[in-house]
Amino acid sequence: MAQPKTNEKVKLVIPKLIVGLGNPEPKYDKTRHNIGFAAVDTLAIKWQMSWQENRRFQGFFSEGIFARQKIYLLKPSTYMNRSGQSVRAVLDWYKIEPQSILVIYDDMDLPLGKLRLRLSGSAGGHNGMRSIVSHLNSQDFPRARLGIGKSNGKKETISHVLGKFSPTESVLVREILQLTAEAIELSLTRGIEQAMNRYNNRTLTAEKDLKI
């Protein structure tokens, strides 16, 4: 029986294009649905990358270097339900495979303060992800879901998703965005699987982690 090669390298899944999902108008700024935008804004600040509006890509685009490799950031300006148009344009221009992107977006099924990285999966009812899956004709691409929690029963789902975070929630959001940046930096140096192993079981809570 043939023995496995112990020195054979495992191919790491390392993103080249990081996409944050959201809606472009100022009225949507800092809303739950735009936490994907906030995540890539956090990365741009941390990596000293500047945003430029790119009409070819139908979004705001930035490029820079991290860990000695070229990295692209994208915020589609197409509105959420047409995000795939923007992502497809960048992939076609730079000849990037779907497996080399990482999409960051909001998820009501996760509590606020929770990050969940996955290598593939369905759109899960998210309009932005549904558009990307459709335009790429594939759901085999990495994604990072950031929890925004469910409505408390007093709010309809739409008003909850498009609502802004409370002051207490905003403190927690800043912490989870920093944690997300750490996870993405690890994925760029050690692969997404390593980031999944380290960060998927973490959950920040205001009382325990922030002492507020």
Q: Is residue 6 part of a domain?
A: no
Active-site residue, from 33, 126, 135, 160: 33
Domain residues for the domain of 188 are: 17-210
How would you class 7 by CB atoms within 10 Å of its CB: exposed for 0-12, middle for 13-18, buried for 19 or more? exposed
Number of domain units in the chain: 1
Which tens digits make up the pLDDT trace of 135-169? 999 999 999 999 999 877 656 788 889 999 999 99
Which tens digits make up the pLDDT trace of 47-106? 999 999 999 999 999 999 999 999 999 999 999 999 999 999 999 999 999 999 999 999
Indicate yes or no: pTM above 0.75: yes
Closest to 115 in 3D by CA, of 67, 165, 182: 182
Q: Is residue 12 part of a domain?
A: no
Which CATH number covers residue 194? 3.40.50.1470
Q: Is 33 a catalytic residue?
A: yes
Q: Is residue 1 part of a domain?
A: no
